[in-house]
Amino acid sequence: MEKYVIEGGRRLAGRVMLQSAKNSVLPLLAASILTEKRVTIREAPAIADVACMAQILRELGAKVTFSGGDVIIDSADACCHEIPSSLTRELRSSVFMLGSLLTRFKRALIAYPGGCDIGLRPIDLHLFALRRLGVNISERDGFIFCEAEKLHGAEILLDFPSVGATENILLAAVMAEGRTTLTGAAKEPEIVDLQNFLNAMGARIAGAGTDVIEIEGVKELHGVTCRPMKDRIEAGTFLIAAAACGGEIEVVGIRPENIRLLLHKLRENGCKIHTKNDKIRIESRGTLRCNRRIETMPFPGFPTDLQAQVTALNASCTGCALIVENLFETRFKYVPELQKMGADIEVKGRTAFVRGTGRLHGACVTAGDLRGGAALVIAALGAEGTSEVLDLSHIDRGYADFRAKLKKLGASIRRVSV
């Protein structure tokens, strides 16, 4: 096990070149199994989740190589429809493989997916949609077995705009017979990225980014080389870190409209935000004030993946904030760790009431999930004194070169063995 040792109180300054989006690259990797031709994903982030998805593809019989930051997938010899439970329980995004495996092999066997412990995250919507496409599904002993003689288009209405279910439907319907109309689709930018990727392979999909997506099934898909979108959650994490520490940084590669609500909230804190093309610059000076209310919602609402980070920021501001988590019922599990640093936060169900203390103090804390871990790092960077953040395996799932990027901005942060 390794930990970060962080000397807080240093201002951040400089430029951050963003990694490709974790939440885009993972479904793109799942989609690569749809063709026997070579697929190349440029500039894939060197994170644990990407390595895990690559291993899943290898278990299916695909050849996966990493070269100069690119991932190259050749699945011509892929023949297996079963994913080892050790991998599915490690990675939530393994559920995307259901749609891809059904399209390629007409069957799939996976264990219930894992990932961060932030709530139940049931996959009922995934299974409902797959049944609409003609899939027979049986569940037993923690495993899901899916089989379809033939996938066919269908009218699908989602009761909730689930990102994972929307992506799974695209992957299952892309070569189904006939037309699929998905109403109530998730609108996240990563959905648009997946649509563009599949269309570059020869798919016929339109409407991603809206709540209605039309998929006209095609007979085959070909290889593709693509460059995924940049990571809007990484961008938000660094902007929040700069707000907490003070200073001036610029993040490069992000469309400001993809994190519009975060920028609004940072201005509300008292930060100055400047945007131009794919660049966002933040200036943070003096004591910041708490946000009045932040409520997580599906895109274009405030992203749940930035909730922990803004809660850490508000804990070090002045005033009071109300944070409402609408998507995952246990996403405040990081709060007791922030309280060790002096945070005054009261959690009731899915709501956290934050009384800003002006500044936190150093402590030894443990990351329990990916975004909660990032929040603890942000709190430590802005706190007085020395902090230790343990169990970096969670943070490694989503942030590439996290320490190096922060150090380049002027943070005092070391990674050492425990």
CA distance 212 to 410: 45
The alpha helices in 186-280, defined as continuous H runs, are 189-200, 232-245, 260-269
Residue 60: both structure tokens together: 């299916």
Query: Phi and psi for 399 in degrees, rounded to 5?
Result: -125, 120
Residue 302: both structure tokens together: 């405030």
Which residue, chain included where needed, has tokens 């150093």?
A: 362
CA distance 324 to 267: 19
Instruction: Calculate the alpha carbon distances from 175 to 139, 150, 204, 207, 360 in Å.
Output: 25, 10, 9, 17, 54
Specify the amino acid at residue 52.
C
Q: Is 364 exposed, middle or buried (0-12, 13-18, 19+ CB in 10 A)?
A: middle
The residue annotated as part of the active site, out of 52, 79, 80, 116, is 116
Contact 113, 91 (CB under 8 A): yes
- Sheet containing strand 2-7, strands side by side: 364-366, 386-390, 2-7, 412-417
For residue 210, the cross-strand partners are 208
Residue 116 bears catalytic tag: yes
How are beta strands 179-183 and 212-216 bridged, if at all?
antiparallel
The alpha helices in 270-369, defined as continuous H runs, are 307-315, 335-339
Residues identified as active-site: 116
